[in-house]
Amino acid sequence: MSQPLVHAAQVRKSYGSNEVLKGIDIDVEAGEVVCLLGPSGSGKTTFLRCINQLEDIQAGRIWVDGDLMGYRQKGARLHRLKDKEIAAQRREIGMVFQRFNLFPHMTAIDNVMEAPVKVQGRPRAEVRTQAQELLDTVGLADKAHAYPNQLSGGQQQRVAIARALAMQPKLMLFDEPTSALDPELVGEVLEVMRDLAQQGMTMIVVTHEMAFARDVADRVIFMDGGVVVEQGSPKDVINNPQHARTKDFLKRLRAEHERVAEAAADLV
């Protein structure tokens, strides 16, 4: 029987007395692209950080490819894994953040090569070949020797994606990867993500890019207030939301898009 690649069951997370995730159940099949939508503060980032154990959780369980993340179960009890064991689990998961987080003192190709060489201990020559191929696939073949400050935000974000892929992850997490970009640079990053989805990568993408969600996602999950409010095909959730909170969120998002479009038109 095939199990989902990501299986999150009744995940609870608090910061002090503030419960941010209130029992999240989310499954993601291998090869599936899931877009996670929801208003600011609904717990989307926290959930991604719990998947790769940048945060510990107070209750529930998260499995990635059959591995219980962050914990070892003995009988009914969970024991936190050692930092080293958690780091090993995290290595299998690529993450791309809103901010590009490239090492500023390294060229694009050195950024891509860093973890495979230093963390995986793979041979430099082999890693260099792979890194150059990855830069090709994200459309940056000619920028291998550029430093981050010589690249646009969109180019930096594409390097960040190549860097995550260099670790040959089984899962990619994207946390609003285009929301820090100038509007004209958003498309080139989404294009790379679309290609990755087509190649069969399993992806969880937090985004406000509805066109991307509609075209690329297999499933859309709407979160609010630390719970999953509704989920389904993009067509169902985006075009025909069932819950008032989803409707309200989408309405506000559309109004915001229109404001941005009008402001841009005014400039022309």
Shortest Cβ 242–ligand ADP spacing (Å): 21
CB of 14 to Mg ion, least distance (A): 17
Closest-CA residue to 63 (of 72, 74, 54): 72
Instruction: Using CB atoms within 10 Å of the CB of residue 144, give its burial: 0 to 12 exposed, 13 to 18 middle, 19+ buried.
Output: middle
Residues in touch with ligand ADP (CB under 6 A): 15, 20, 38, 40-46
Q: Reduce the DSSP state of residue 235 to 3 states and report it.
A: helix
Q: Pick the binder of Mg ion from 32, 36, 43, 45 (CB under 5 A).
A: 45
Two structure tokens written together for 210? 């509805």
Q: Which is nearer to ligand ADP, 21 or 69 (CB)?
A: 21
Query: Out of Mg ion, ligand ADP, none, which partner does residue 234 contact, by CB within 5 to 8 A per kind?
Result: none
How many amino acids of this chain bind Mg ion (CB under 5 A)?
2
DSSP state of 43: S
Closest distance between ligand ADP and the C-beta of residue 11, in Å?
12
Window contacting Mg ion (CB under 5 A); options: 44-52, 110-118, 195-203, 225-233: 44-52
Q: Which of 96, 124, 119, 106 is nearest to 201 (CA)?
A: 96
Question: C-beta of 43: minimal distance to Mg ion in Å?
Answer: 8
* Residue 41 beta carbon to ligand ADP: minimum distance, rounded to whole angstroms: 4
178 lines the binding site for Mg ion (CB under 5 A): no
Does residue 42 belong to the site contacting Mg ion (CB under 5 A)? no
Residue 197: exposure state from Cβ atoms within 10 A (0-12, 13-18, ≥19):
buried
26-56: string of b/e by CB count within 10 Å (b at 16+)? bbbbeebbbbbbbbeebbbbbbbbbbbbebe
Q: Which residues bind Mg ion (CB under 5 A)?
A: 44-45
